[in-house]
Structures are given as C-alpha cells and as structure tokens.
Amino acid sequence: MSLQFEIVPVTPFQQNCSIIWCDETKEAAMVDPGGDIHLLKEKVQQLGLTVTKLILTHGHLDHVGGTAPLAQELGIPVIGPHKEDAFWLQGLPRQSEMFGFPLTEAFDPDQWLEDGDTVTVGNQTLSVLHTPGHTPGHVVLYSSEANVAFVGDVLFKGGIGRTDFPRGDYQTLIDSIKGKLWPLGNDVTFIPGHGPVSTFGSERASNPFVADEMPLY
C-alpha cells in the first residue's frame, strides 16, 4: 500500500494540482489547488476519496487561487507554505488584478510549514523541505515510500522556476535544487507545478540550468 496521485491541470496557466491519497484509507489531500474547483471536486468524486487537507507549495495565485473557497466548502485545513511567503498570500487581490484572474481574497493558512516538518495523508507521511529561490517560502513535499516529490515551481523538466519575482533569487534556487533535491536520489520522480513529470536523475543529466558539471576534455 502506498501514496497514489493524480494530476489535474487547472487555470489558464495549466498549473498541475496533484490529488494525492493513501490507498489504504482513501484519505486525500490536494497539493496546490489553484482554481477550476469543479474539475478537482469531480476527480475526487470519481476516485472515491475524502479530502482532509489542502497543501500549498508557495503563494503564487495559479497555485493557491481555489484554496480558500475549497477549504471553506469542505471544512478542512490549509497547510503551508513556509511563512516567508505570507506576503504573497496577503497580496492575492493584487495578483488577481495583475493576471486578469477573478478576485482572490488574501488568507493565511491554518499551519505554516518549516523545513523538516512532516505532513500525513491517511497512513502516508510526506517530508517537508524548505526550498527558497522561486519564492522565499517555497516548500517541496517528498514521500520516501513512494519515491516521489511534489516540487511546485522549483524545478521543471528541462527548466527551473522563475527568479525575477519579488524576493526571488537565482543562486538561492540553484542551491535549493542541488542541496535539497539531488540528495534524495536520482530515481525520485518529481511532479512539477507545470508541464510533464520527470526524474531528478534525468534533470541532472540534461537540464541546462542544473545539470551536473561536464568534464572538460
């Protein structure tokens, strides 16, 4: 028995919301419910799951836009991100305006996450890694049992997260990827915030931003 997941792309930004669940208990969580709540609820119903919490990797609108209404409707807590992203969540009305999204009200989660914390979903446990750079309070969720990581906008297949937003930093992001993600192992599958799934090993071999240094001949 292990952690299962299904990816549902939401919003005009095609953000990967991950519905994750324990296949023993059918307890589930949504990672980054950015919008299109009706699609997320339909998928949960199809899978026969009970969502018990919402987990956020960072505070950008396309990752959190559906959070407050879903939490209210389902009566469940919002977990994460790290408190360094509080300014992003407080700035949601402004973000909505900038990106032409419907108004999204500011909110705070029920629990901020810290590096080294754990989050449970049914009988499954996810480790929390604080991975700043794209945003200062970004977190990654890792299941050692399922050998899978939910990395938000830190790392993509062939790319990395943007660092030109307020309090983003390129070198900090590279350090987060190489210092926090690579030690988890080359065979770890990761689900990025946008685009296709990949493995850390594949990115170490070919990602132009974070590939291992090639020897010079």
Within a domain: residue 217? Answer: no
CA gap 96, 16 in Å, rounded: 19
Question: Do 91 and 116 meet the contact criterion of CB atoms below 8 Å apart?
Answer: no
User: Strands 124-130, 139-143: parallel, antiparallel or unpaired by DSSP?
Assistant: antiparallel
pLDDT at 216: 54
- The Cα–Cα gap between 79 and 192 comes to 19
pLDDT of amino acid 101: 87
Q: State the total domains in the chain.
A: 1
User: Could you identify the residue written with the tokens 């080294």?
Assistant: 116
Residue 174 pLDDT: 98
pTM of the model: 0.97
Domain assignment present for residue 211? The answer is no
The answer to whether position 215 is within a domain reads no
Res. 1: pLDDT tops 90: no
CATH number of the domain bearing residue 182:
3.60.15.10
Judge whether 89 lies within some domain.
yes
**Domain span including residue 129:** 3-205
Burial class (CB in 10 A: 0-12, 13-18, 19+), 49: buried
